[in-house]
Amino acid sequence: MIDFTNVSITYSGASSPVLRGVTLHVPEGELCLVIGATGSGKSSLLGAVNGLVPHFTGGRLSGSVTVAGRNTRDHPPRELADVVGVVGQNPSASFLADTVEDELAYTMESLGLAADVMRRRVEDTLDLLGLVALRDRAVATLSGGEAQRVAIGAVLTAHPQILVLDEPTSALDPAAAEDVLAALQRLVHDLGMTVLLAEHRLERVVQHADSVVWLPGDGTAVRGTPAQIMAHSPITPPIVSLGRELAWTPLPLTVRDARIPGRRLREVLPPEPPTDPPRIPGAILAETRALTVRYGGVLALRRAGFVAREGEIVAVMGRNGAGKSSLLAALTGLLKPAEGQVRIAGRDPRELRGRELTSHVGLVPQQPGDLLYAETVHAECAAADRDARAPRGTAGGLLHRIAGALDLDLHPRDLSEGQRLALALAVVLTSAPPLVLLDEPTRGLDYPAKERLVHTLVGLAGAGHAVVLATHDVELAAEVSTRTVVLAGGEIVADGPSRQVVTQSPVFAPQIAKVLAPLPYLTVRDVRRALAAVPG
């Protein structure tokens, strides 16, 4: 269905090709997962399938890409719209109509299909993706998960043979991500569609994949079954890491597979994982009392009582729209409480301005790029030093510690997601705020970048900062957080030690906890340390 023959892609101005001599064949009816670190060429590979690379992006493509018998050399993207459907990273940026129904019909209108055919296909697609209730909604009012499914529906109505998706679940909460993946699974199984999917969050998708294409980063591509690739790839979900560490064969990819060899492990492990000596809770840095926030007529938070102490890492979890971002915004004084109080070091953050605010609390927003506006990384760091009245080189030093060596002459927008997050975090930390807030920090991060982030956050907590992160990433929360707060419909429904809270909820439990339930182990590290302590 998709054939790459000796494909190399070089963008103008780049010294080396992104993809080098890639030969690849994806047969019909397969769900193929594309994995690789940031910058390894995932997006280029996906874009080449429908000819956006190089017809739209520019650059040079040698070799040939053939999809459903058509060579992308002679067929620009619009001439492939009837065989390839593409859903980008940010679906709401790709909407072309104002209501859901019209959006679903757009591609068909371009293709010139007859009115009765269009009508039938729209109805079919509404049913297939569970969108019936949304048909008359304006696309601007959709939530993240809804928008993602509408975007998939909008390309499905053209009955493409191939569906290409770039990180379809990265912005979604675990439940919404399951919805989207279930819909994809149905397309592959019921309609024989070929799906090519890039995703960083392997723990969510690898069990759904028929094959995996791994881009090691040197421009080549390796294709194999999920088990083959997972046995060697440096990027693995926690279950695979555990299986590889304990040399389980066959290598488990799903929780169900892992529970069988896991039975013996559960017998060996002590009932409680060895934990660090409990830290004495530090002073209260931030507190909300009966905080109610209204946001455009909607109740975003309802009488929420929240506390963050020195040395803590608090994970705030909940569905899209549960009030996580509102809580962070209220803690920085960006939102006006309708009722209740917010106190940062005993003061109302809304009264704090300028350096007074930044030296008390720092927030890395969902789009870290919002914080950045200098032309180069170097200028950004210099500006941060000036704003914070910190000695020159403070921000640069922090950046180096968080992200390693970076090209300081790059424009911040040319950085990878992980590097941009690191820069924003460095800028925030330059004024050394005791309270550090991060909104959805792992969106679009690959595993190495995530590992560096974990390291940084643990270091911050060790130095006495309080870290609060709003996240959908259950694995990250399990890895770093000491306390977990669960929000639902604006109310705090759970607040306690992470180990307790996440093991009690199937939605927020990390993979290892599911494998070893009822034992309260959350991460591979927990298991490793426990096994090291077990004699023999």
Partner 1 sequence: MHRNGRLLHPAAWWLWALGLAYAAMRTNNAILLLAIVCVAGVVVSTRRGPAPWANAYSLLLKLGALTVVVTMLLQLLLGVRTPGHVLVHLPSAPLPHWAGGISIGGDVSAEAMLNAFVSGLRLAVLIACFGAANALAHPARLVRIMPAALYEVGVAIVVAMTIVPQLAESVVRVRAAQRLRGRRVTGLSGLRGILVPVLELALERAIALAASMDSRGYGRRAEQPPAVRRFAGGGVLLGLGAAVVGTYQLISGGGQRLGVGLLAGGTLVALAAGFVAGRRTRRTRYRPDQWRAAEWLVLGCGVLVALSYALAVHDPLAAGVALEWPPLRPLPFVATLVAALPAVATPEPPGLAPRGHAAVRSVQIAALEESVRA
* Omega before residue 250 within 30° of 0, cis: yes
- Cα separation values, 235 from 1, 37, 213, 241, Å: 27, 8, 12, 9
CB of 170 to partner 1, least distance (A): 15
Name, in order, each residue with C-beta under 8 angstroms of 320's C-beta and a sequence gap of 6 or more: 143, 144, 145, 171, 172, 173, 176, 472
CB of 138 to partner 1, least distance (A): 5
d(CA 434, CA 461): 10
Q: Are β-strands 211-215 and 222-224 bridged in parallel, bridged antiparallel, or unpaired?
A: antiparallel
Q: Which C-beta is closer to partner 1: that of 27 or that of 506?
A: 506
Distance of CA 2 to the CA centre of its chain: 27
Q: Which C-beta is closer to partner 1: that of 311 or that of 434?
A: 434
Q: Which C-beta is closer to partner 1: that of 138 or that of 191?
A: 138
Q: Which C-beta is closer to partner 1: that of 96 or that of 268?
A: 96
Q: Which C-beta is closer to partner 1: that of 211 or that of 504?
A: 504
CB of 420 to partner 1, least distance (A): 13
Phi, psi of 401 (to 5 degrees): -65, -35
Name, in order, each residue with C-beta under 8 angstroms of 472's C-beta and a sequence gap of 6 or more: 171, 172, 173, 174, 177, 317, 320, 440
Q: What are 52-60's contacts with CB under 8 Å, separation 24+? A: 52/77, 52/86, 53/9, 54/9, 57/11, 58/11, 58/12, 59/9, 59/10, 59/11, 59/12, 59/14, 60/9, 60/10, 60/11, 60/12
Q: Which C-beta is closer to partner 1: that of 3 or that of 101?
A: 101
Phi, psi of 438 (to 5 degrees): -130, 130
CB of 16 to partner 1, least distance (A): 24
Name, in order, each residue with C-beta under 8 angstroms of 424's C-beta and a sequence gap of 6 or more: 364, 365, 368, 369, 371, 372
d(CA 461, CA 482): 10
**Residues in the chain, overall count:** 536
CB of 108 to partner 1, least distance (A): 7
CB of 110 to partner 1, least distance (A): 3
Alpha-helical runs (H) found in 370-473? 377-388, 394-403, 417-430, 447-462
Q: What are 329-333's contacts with CB under 8 Å, separation 24+? A: 329/363, 330/288, 330/291, 330/293, 330/301, 331/286, 331/288, 331/361, 331/363, 331/435, 331/437, 331/468, 332/357, 332/361, 332/363, 332/437, 333/357
CB of 247 to partner 1, least distance (A): 34
Q: Which C-beta is closer to partner 1: that of 356 or that of 409?
A: 356
CB of 230 to partner 1, least distance (A): 30
Say which DSSP state 76 is in: -
According to DSSP, the residues that pair with 284 across neighbouring strands are 309
- Which tokens belong to 401? 């510690």
CB of 274 to partner 1, least distance (A): 26
Q: Which C-beta is closer to partner 1: that of 277 or that of 296?
A: 296
Q: Which C-beta is closer to partner 1: that of 107 or that of 241?
A: 107
Say which DSSP state 248 is in: -
CB of 73 to partner 1, least distance (A): 16
CB of 490 to partner 1, least distance (A): 11
CB of 354 to partner 1, least distance (A): 4
d(CA 306, CA 304): 6
Q: Which C-beta is closer to partner 1: that of 430 or that of 456?
A: 430
Q: Which C-beta is closer to partner 1: that of 68 or that of 222?
A: 68
Q: Which C-beta is closer to partner 1: that of 158 or that of 253?
A: 158
Name, in order, each residue with C-beta under 8 angstroms of 335's C-beta and a sequence gap of 6 or more: 293, 295, 300, 326, 329
CB of 503 to partner 1, least distance (A): 11
8 Å CB contact between 77 and 52:
yes
Q: Which C-beta is closer to partner 1: that of 118 or that of 382?
A: 118
